[in-house]
């Protein structure tokens, strides 16, 4: 809880620390009703600050929260209360020399820490989460990322309950203690900020493997889990080894310690954490096997294992100077993990999924009250800035640099960045500078992507001159105002494009002034508010394919008609743009239906959408994963995002109508593909590889359409798949289609069978909750409320909250936005409750209410009313306070 009025922190106020901590020696004594933390900090005056502010010795202000100070010494001298100042967030001392040691002992209460930040207990084990500012809940410290220190950690705990004692780095000593206790000491040779500290003590088993690095060093790999999960670690281990090899081959990055550990914990606020040598993971991001985890979950595990591993260089060896630079490590690391996933699976499918996610959720964030730049200028609570903008848009910004400098130039730049800044805490400017220096280019204007919030619009128009054989594209960029009121200057927008002739063949691209054509797909940089590019030697009116591969995170518009979009769907050489043409076609068709519904007219589906999808479905030569993606209509949340005023009822009705029509019209094709793929699934073992993901993806989307026809043979197929599948991907889809169907008896039976079978597997029960929370049939809120009473539900567990409440408010728009405001009231009640014990989760669950400006005035009033009720509900955490106050500003 907040103990001081939350205040805004500004990037412009950054100052280097007055003191440095060369060494940090920690001893943890863990008990059931408290823990003791003894810290010895070997400190000195920061030489950089001596030069700046003269020779005097400023006070030493250590961060500390919720700590009970037992003793503090400066050098050999134990201090008395008169020698220091203690406040809710700080311990202030007056050093007497430039170099000194500080010893503190504090008492803390991990056993009652429900915020899951600092040292806490999860399913009986002790674990830590220090990023961003959790270390100050463990001991008094300079808890900021530009203070890097060499850590030695001793953990002492009862032997029987906590046989495994872990911390960062290498184990250097261990032994028995008194009263059935034991201890272990770990030493991390690398300097690191406190946010990368980790400790684990528990009754854990581990899966072991090893990896030989590019320089022939042997690294021990261990994944620690609760004993019952030991059979669910293989996929994560395989993913880890692939990641280690990939980072050597792609970025030249070698692992640097003799041991790399992952620990799975059940209660975790996020996906995982890259603590040096000791990554701590949400168990949902580690555990995966065919029977219990879907294909999507397997791919998520692979991506998160890679992400956290890649942080060892992009984050740990080179870290952030301050938290405004968060995207320095997160944007870059997301970019790195996306490259890895693309190489392991399908590049185009990965790109489609990432872009669909970005357009739906990051664009909404950019348009809402919490909009901020990739490098924000200010914040109240840093935990609120682990956002889609910092992560996903930050990754897009790195990707645009790569597009501008090319693959080789990018590698030169990343090599220079890692070499130049190894062991340092740096800024986004330092990253860009390395890219500039390695490539001899100027990215000054490009850097506006780091400082200007909001999603740029890029309106494109064309002009063909048959006589001159020239074709001009005019680009007009603009960016809507965001709450920071920063004036928007033109961005550098790399647009990859091609031109298609009437047969769909690529036209050679020669810009006016160029001696020869430069290929058939190329990148042009739009740098001005309005800019025209003229192509010459264009013998016929071409059709442009714009923003290939989504080469910039912008909202591009070009006045395509539906026939042109169908043409691009078939002929564009860029797979991403083939998909995107299909999405644009579907958006146009759905927007017609939305308007028809709003005007009280009968809904009529444009048959061109049917034709386009029928063509795809009939073509056995296409990648099945692509067909599955192209069969997926734009989601309701995306349709809401692109609406001026989001009419959820109309959106839902229109989309469901289109799905129903498609199911009826495409029945034969869908049924054929479904049966063929289910037959392969039935007769082969589960494999977590992309060709198999593709087959099941098409099979499952086919089933979800087919079920809308309510034909008896489809119901029978769904039940067969539910009963007989050997994997969760097929079983969960079968369950989902039953849950969304009108077959009440079959639905009830499947839900009961599933819950009985998986009642002891928390992660599978999360999926059971989500499938029901996402069901758009009437009565959604009542179902969610009833499920909160289920014995497998636990509001203290973030995965459960996300599975039930997150899925309801985020994916069940028609029920959440019920006109009577019941969904809003429910969410606000929940946020108020969560605020009392887990501020980070409370603040994240709040996001849907912050988007109130998107809805009609009646809903706006209801949503604002709930935000006001939260604001008035009592002592707010800084997390919830910031989001609520910015949303109402």
Candidate ranges 120-128, 268-276, 781-789, 851-859; the one touching ligand TRP (CB under 6 A): 268-276
The option from ligand TRP, Zn ion, none interacting with 641 (CB < 5 to 8 A, set by class) reads none
- Closer residue to ligand TRP in complex, CB, 329/678: 329
Report the C-alpha gap between 190 and 11 in whole angstroms. 27
Q: CA 152 from chain center: how many Å?
A: 32
**Residue 617 CB, nearest distance to Zn ion (Å)?**
38
Phi, psi of 328 (to 5 degrees): -55, -45
**Closest approach of Cβ 386 to Zn ion, in Å?**
8
CB of 333 vs Zn ion, minimal distance in Å = 5
- Contact criterion met (CB below 8 Å) for 353 and 345: no
Catalytic residue among 18, 117, 308, 381: 308
Residue nearest to ligand TRP (CB): 270
Sign of CA dihedral 89, 95, 101, 104: negative
Query: Minimum Å distance from CB 307 to ligand TRP?
Result: 6
272 binds, among Zn ion, ligand TRP, none (CB under 5 to 8 A by kind): ligand TRP
Which of 67, 204, 272, 707 touches ligand TRP (CB under 6 A)?
Answer: 272
Whole-angstrom distance between the N-terminal and C-terminal Cα of the chain?
23
142 binds ligand TRP (CB under 6 A): no
For residue 247, the 8-state DSSP code is: H
Stretch in the footprint of ligand TRP (CB under 6 A) among 99-107, 184-192, 264-272, 818-826: 264-272
Tokens 């049924």 -> residue: 671
Neighbours of 602 (CB within 10 A): 6
- SS3 assignment, position 152: strand
Smallest distance, Å, CB 390 to Zn ion? Answer: 10
274-313 mask for ligand TRP (x: CB under 6 A)?
x--------------------------------xx-----
Q: Is 269 in the site for ligand TRP (CB under 6 A)?
A: yes
Closest to Zn ion by CB, 104 or 283? 283
Please provide residue 271's backbone torsions phi and psi, each rounded to the nearest 5 degrees. Answer: -80, -50
- Is 308 assigned a catalytic role? yes
Size of the site for Zn ion (CB under 5 A): 2
Q: Which is nearer to ligand TRP, 391 or 410 (CB)?
A: 391
Q: Which of 79, 273, 397, 589 binds ligand TRP (CB under 6 A)?
A: 273
Stretch that binds ligand TRP, among 88-96, 127-135, 567-575, 785-793 (CB under 6 A): 127-135
Q: Which part of the chain contacts Zn ion (CB under 5 A), choosing from 219-227, 332-340, 466-474, 851-859?
A: 332-340
Distance CA 144, CA 195 (A): 8
Rounded Cα–Cα distance for residues 55 and 123 (Å): 51
Distances from the Cα of 226 to the Cα of 66, 220, 231, 390, 463, angstroms: 29, 20, 10, 33, 65
Contact assessment for residue 150 and residue 138, using Cβ atoms and an 8 Å cutoff: no
Q: Which is nearer to Zn ion, 122 or 333 (CB)?
A: 333
**Binding partner of residue 590 among ligand TRP, Zn ion, none, CB under 5 to 8 Å per kind?**
none
Measured from the CB atom, the residue of 126 and 560 that comes closer to ligand TRP is: 126
Part of the chain binding ligand TRP (CB under 6 A), chosen from 124-132, 149-157, 456-464, 722-730: 124-132
Which of the choices Zn ion, ligand TRP, none does residue 383 contact, using the CB cut-off of 5 to 8 A by kind? ligand TRP
Instruction: For residues 824 and 804, give the distance between their C-alpha atoms in angstroms, rounded to a whole number.
Output: 15
Which of these segments, 81-89, 326-334, 620-628, 732-740, binds Zn ion (CB under 5 A)? 326-334
Q: Are 310 and 243 in contact (CB under 8 A)?
A: yes
Is 129 a binding residue for ligand TRP by CB under 6 A? The answer is: yes
Burial (CB count <10 Å: 0-12, 13-18, 19+), residue 13: exposed
- Strand 77-78 and strand 205-212: pairing? unpaired
Please tell me the distance from the alpha carbon of residue 427 to that of residue 431, in angstroms, as a whole number.
7
d(CA 638, CA 635): 5
DSSP-derived pairing of the beta strands 470-478 and 148-158: unpaired
Q: Which of these segments, 4-12, 172-180, 325-333, 667-675, binds Zn ion (CB under 5 A)?
A: 325-333
Smallest distance, Zn ion to C-beta of residue 320, A: 11
Q: Which of residues 321-350 bind ligand TRP (CB under 6 A)?
A: 330
Q: Which is nearer to Zn ion, 333 or 414 (CB)?
A: 333
Q: In whole angstroms, give the CA distance from residue 752 to residue 810.
A: 25
Of 390 and 697, the one with the shorter C-beta distance to Zn ion is 390
Q: Which does 705 bind (CB under 5 to 8 A by kind): ligand TRP, Zn ion, none?
A: none
307 or 402: CB nearest ligand TRP: 307
314 vs 521, beta carbon nearer Zn ion: 314
Each residue of 206-226: b (16+ CB within 10 Å) or e?
Answer: bbebebeeeeeeebebbbbbb
C-alpha–C-alpha distance, residues 413 and 854, integer Å? 41
Contact of 592 with 661, CB cutoff 8 Å: no
Residue among 329, 279, 327, 285 nearest 304 (CA)? 285
In the bound complex, what is the minimum distance in angstroms from residue 170's beta carbon to ligand TRP? 23
Whether 164 contacts 261, CB under 8 Å: no
Residues in touch with ligand TRP (CB under 6 A): 129, 131-132, 269-270, 272-274, 307-308, 330, 383, 386
| Residues with catalytic function | 308
Residues in touch with Zn ion (CB under 5 A): 330, 333
């Amino acid at each position: 809880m907040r103990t001081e009025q939350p205040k805004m922190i500004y990037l412009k106020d950054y100052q280097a620390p007055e003191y440095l901590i060369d060494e940090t020696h920690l001893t943890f004594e863990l008990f059931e009703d408290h823990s003791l933390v003894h810290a010895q900090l070997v400190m000195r005056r920061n030489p950089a600050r001596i030069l700046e502010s003269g020779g005097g010795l400023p006070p030493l202000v250590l961060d500390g929260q919720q700590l009970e100070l037992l003793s503090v010494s400066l050098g050999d001298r134990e201090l008395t209360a008169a020698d220091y100042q203690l406040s809710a967030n700080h311990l202030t001392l007056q050093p007497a020399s430039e170099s000194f040691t500080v010893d503190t002992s504090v008492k803390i209460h991990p056993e009652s820490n429900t915020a899951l930040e600092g040292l806490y207990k999860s399913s009986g084990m002790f674990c830590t989460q220090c990023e961003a500012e959790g270390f100050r809940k463990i001991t008094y410290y300079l808890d900021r990322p530009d203070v890097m220190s060499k850590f030695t950690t001793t953990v002492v705990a009862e032997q029987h309950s906590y046989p495994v004692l872990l911390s960062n780095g290498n184990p250097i000593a261990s032994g028995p203690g008194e009263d059935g206790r034991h201890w272990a000491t770990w030493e991390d040779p690398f300097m690191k900020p406190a946010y990368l500290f980790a400790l684990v003590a528990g009754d854990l088993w581990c899966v072991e493997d090893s990896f030989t690095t590019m320089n022939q060093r042997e690294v021990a790999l261990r994944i620690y889990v609760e004993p019952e999960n030991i059979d669910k670690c293989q996929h994560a281990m395989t993913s880890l080894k692939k990641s280690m090899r990939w980072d050597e081959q792609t970025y030249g990055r070698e692992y640097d310690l003799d041991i790399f550990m992952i620990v799975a914990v059940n209660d975790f606020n996020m996906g995982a954490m890259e603590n040096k040598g000791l990554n701590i993971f949400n168990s949902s991001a580690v555990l995966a096997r065919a029977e219990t985890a879907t294909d999507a979950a397997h791919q998520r595990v692979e991506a998160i294992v890679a992400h956290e591993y890649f942080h060892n260089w992009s984050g740990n060896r080179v870290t952030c100077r301050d938290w405004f630079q968060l995207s320095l490590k997160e944007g870059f690391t997301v970019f790195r993990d996306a490259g890895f996933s693309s190489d392991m699976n399908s590049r185009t499918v990965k790109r489609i999924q990432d872009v669909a996610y970005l357009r739906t959720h990051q664009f909404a964030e950019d348009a809402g009250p919490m909009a901020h730049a990739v490098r924000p200028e200010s914040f109240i609570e840093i935990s609120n800035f682990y956002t889609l903008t910092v992560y996903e848009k930050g990754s897009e910004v790195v990707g645009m640099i790569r597009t501008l400098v090319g693959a080789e130039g990018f590698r030169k730049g990343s090599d220079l960045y890692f070499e130049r800044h190894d062991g340092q805490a740096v800024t986004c400017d330092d990253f860009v500078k390395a890219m500039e220096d390695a490539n001899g280019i100027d990215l000054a204007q490009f850097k506006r992507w780091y400082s200007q919030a909001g999603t740029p619009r890029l309106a494109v128009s064309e002009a063909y001159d048959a006589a001159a054989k020239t074709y001009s594209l005019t680009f007009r960029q603009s960016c809507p105002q965001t709450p920071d009121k920063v004036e928007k200057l033109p961005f550098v927008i790399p647009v990859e494009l091609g031109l298609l002739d009437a047969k769909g063949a690529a036209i050679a691209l020669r810009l006016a002034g160029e001696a020869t054509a430069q290929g058939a797909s190329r990148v042009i940089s739009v740098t001005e508010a309005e800019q025209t590019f003229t192509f010459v030697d264009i013998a016929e009116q071409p059709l442009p394919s714009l923003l290939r591969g989504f080469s910039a995170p912008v909202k591009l518009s070009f006045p395509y008609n539906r026939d042109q979009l169908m043409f691009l769907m078939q002929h564009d050489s860029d797979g991403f743009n083939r998909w995107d043409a299909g999405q644009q076609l579907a958006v146009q068709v759905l927007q017609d239906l939305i308007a028809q519904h709003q005007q009280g007219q009968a809904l009529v589906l444009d048959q061109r959408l049917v034709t386009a999808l029928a063509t795809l479905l009939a073509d056995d030569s296409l990648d099945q994963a692509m067909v599955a993606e192209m069969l997926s209509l734009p989601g309701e949340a995306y349709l809401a995002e692109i609406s001026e005023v989001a009419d959820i009822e109309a959106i839902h009705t229109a989309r469901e109508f289109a799905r129903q029509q498609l199911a009826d019209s495409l029945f034969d094709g869908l049924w054929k593909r479904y049966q063929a793929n289910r037959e392969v699934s039935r007769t082969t073992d589960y494999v977590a590889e992309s060709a198999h993901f593709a087959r099941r993806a098409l099979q499952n989307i086919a089933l979800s359409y087919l079920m809308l026809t309510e034909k008896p043979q489809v119901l029978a197929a769904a039940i067969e798949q539910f009963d007989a599948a050997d994997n969760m991907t097929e079983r969960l889809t079968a369950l989902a289609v039953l849950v969304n169907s009108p077959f009440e008896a079959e639905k009830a039976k499947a839900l009961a069978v599933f819950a009985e079978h998986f009642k002891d597997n928390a992660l599978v029960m999360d999926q059971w909750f989500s499938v029901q929370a996402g069901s758009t049939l009437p009565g959604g809120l009542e179902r969610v409320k009833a499920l909160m009473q289920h014995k497998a539900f636990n509001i203290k567990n973030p995965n459960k909250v996300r599975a039930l409440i997150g899925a309801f408010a985020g994916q069940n728009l028609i029920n959440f936005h019920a006109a009577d405001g019941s969904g809003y009231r429910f969410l606000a009640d929940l946020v108020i409750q969560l605020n009392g014990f887990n501020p980070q989760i409370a603040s994240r669950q709040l996001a849907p209410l912050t988007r109130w400006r998107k809805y009609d005035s009646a809903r706006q009033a209801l949503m604002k009313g709930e935000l006001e009720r939260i604001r008035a509900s009592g002592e707010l955490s800084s997390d919830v306070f910031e989001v609520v106050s910015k949303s109402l500003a």
